[in-house]
């Protein structure tokens, strides 16, 4: 009887102790996270000091696996002299665009405004060694237009912010209001067309305000001046072409005259050469005749008249043949 009574008493005591322990644990405050959430309003804090950032999404399994390691890394941040932050890409699409995050989870190291991508595992030991051994110095920094602080990435952040707002609005239509998805798509298409037309109208108004139109009379004068200028230009071109033609004709005439004069000079020279040759031949004939006469006088008694008369005739024939050959050669040259 005593043993049967003790069992319920012990069971009741154990339940009471367990309930009391549960109440004590519930009464204790939850341990605060050392990871600082980063938003579009406070992200510039990473421009000073040393930081490690994690980009995650609540629905990402890989991100959830590294949450405990990231919390441990943040608890030891004071020892490592580093600040630890996280960015929810669903709530902050602008920051994901500024850092051009395309995979999750994504880790970044920042040192005095210089950013580097950490591509190692999200395990506490690897993260700790990355900071203590300063392995980030061997990683190429994000400089130029790739830097999150550049103007280009600021524009990218704006585009991602607009896309995030459109996505939230689509979820509001389809989930909260229960509108079909195709109706939401039609709404966004119509809104895009209306927005484009509105922006075009604004540009037209701005151009009309800043670009003052010219009066009609002045525009007509400009057209007349333009037409007269074109006509004058055409006339000048025609005059220039005519002058060129005239100059070419004069040059051709001058060249013809020069050719004729050269031919005449050549003919005169040929005639002078022929006269000189004839004079030379006549002198030769005269000398030969005088020689023959002298020989005839000397040999008057010993030589017969027939033999003595044969020599002058032969020489005269030779001279005449030479003259004929000269004349034929000169005729060939002249032709």
Question: Of 127, 132, 83, 86, which Cα lies nearest the Cα of 105?
Answer: 86
Tell me how far CA of residue 144 lies from CA of 99, 136, 147, 150, in angstroms.
Answer: 13, 18, 6, 7
- Phi, psi angles (nearest 5°) of residue 88: -85, 110
Provide DSSP, 134-167. Answer: TGGGGSPP--GGGSTTSHHHHHHHHHHHHHHHHH
Please count the residues of the chain.
335
If you count DSSP H runs as helices and E runs as strands, how many of each does the chain have, helices first? 10, 5
Given 63, 183, 209, 222, which residue is catalytic? 63
Question: Of 153, 156, 147, which Cα lies nearest the Cα of 47?
Answer: 147
Using alpha carbons only, what angle is made at residue 148 by residues 144 and 152, rounded to the nearest 5 degrees? 60
Residues 6+ apart with CB under 8 A from 164: 90, 93, 94
Given 60, 183, 209, 222, which residue is catalytic? 60
Token digits of residue 112 = 């005095």
Cβ(100)–Cβ(152) below 8 Å? no
- Phi, psi angles (nearest 5°) of residue 320: -65, -40
- 209 part of the active site: no
Cβ(80)–Cβ(136) below 8 Å? no
Query: What pairs with residue 52 in β-bridges?
Result: 84, 109
Provide DSSP, 205-219. Answer: HHHHHHSPPPPHHHH
**Helices 181-210 and 151-171: crossing angle, nearest 10°?**
140
- 63 part of the active site: yes
Calpha distance 10→4 (Å, rounded) = 11
Which residues are the active-site residues? 60, 63
């Amino acid at each position: 009887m005593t043993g049967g009574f003790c069992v319920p008493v012990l069971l009741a005591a154990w339940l009471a102790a367990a309930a009391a322990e549960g109440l004590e644990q519930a009464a204790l405050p939850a341990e605060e996270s050392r990871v600082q959430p980063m938003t579009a309003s406070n992200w510039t804090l990473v421009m000073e000091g040393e930081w490690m950032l994690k980009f995650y999404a609540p629905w990402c399994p890989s991100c959830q696996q590294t949450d405990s390691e990231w919390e441990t890394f943040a608890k030891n941040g004071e020892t490592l002299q580093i600040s630890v932050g996280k960015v929810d890409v669903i709530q902050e699409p602008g920051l994901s665009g500024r850092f051009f995050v395309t995979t999750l989870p994504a880790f970044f190291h920042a040192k005095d405004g210089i950013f580097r991508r950490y591509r190692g595992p999200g395990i506490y030991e690897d993260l700790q060694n990355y900071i203590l051994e300063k392995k980030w110095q061997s990683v190429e920094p994000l400089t130029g237009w790739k830097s999150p602080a550049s103007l280009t990435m600021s524009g990218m952040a704006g585009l991602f912010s607009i896309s995030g707002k459109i996505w939230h609005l689509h979820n509001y239509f389809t989930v909260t209001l229960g509108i079909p998805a195709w109706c939401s798509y039609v709404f966004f298409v119509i809104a895009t067309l209306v927005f484009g037309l509105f922006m075009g109208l604004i540009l037209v108004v701005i151009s009309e305000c800043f670009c003052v139109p010219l009066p009609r009379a002045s525009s007509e004068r400009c057209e007349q001046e333009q037409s007269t200028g074109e006509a004058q230009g055409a006339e000048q071109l025609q005059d220039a072409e005519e002058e060129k033609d005239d100059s070419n004709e004069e040059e051709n005439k001058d060249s013809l005259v020069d050719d004729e004069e050269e031919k005449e000079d050549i003919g005169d020279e040929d005639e002078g050469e022929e006269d000189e040759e004839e004079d030379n031949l006549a002198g030769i004939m005269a000398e030969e005749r005088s020689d023959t006469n002298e020989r005839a006088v000397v040999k008057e008694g010993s030589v017969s008249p027939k033999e003595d008369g044969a020599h002058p005739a032969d020489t005269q024939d030779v001279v005449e043949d030479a003259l004929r050959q000269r004349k034929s050669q000169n005729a060939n040259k002249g032709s």
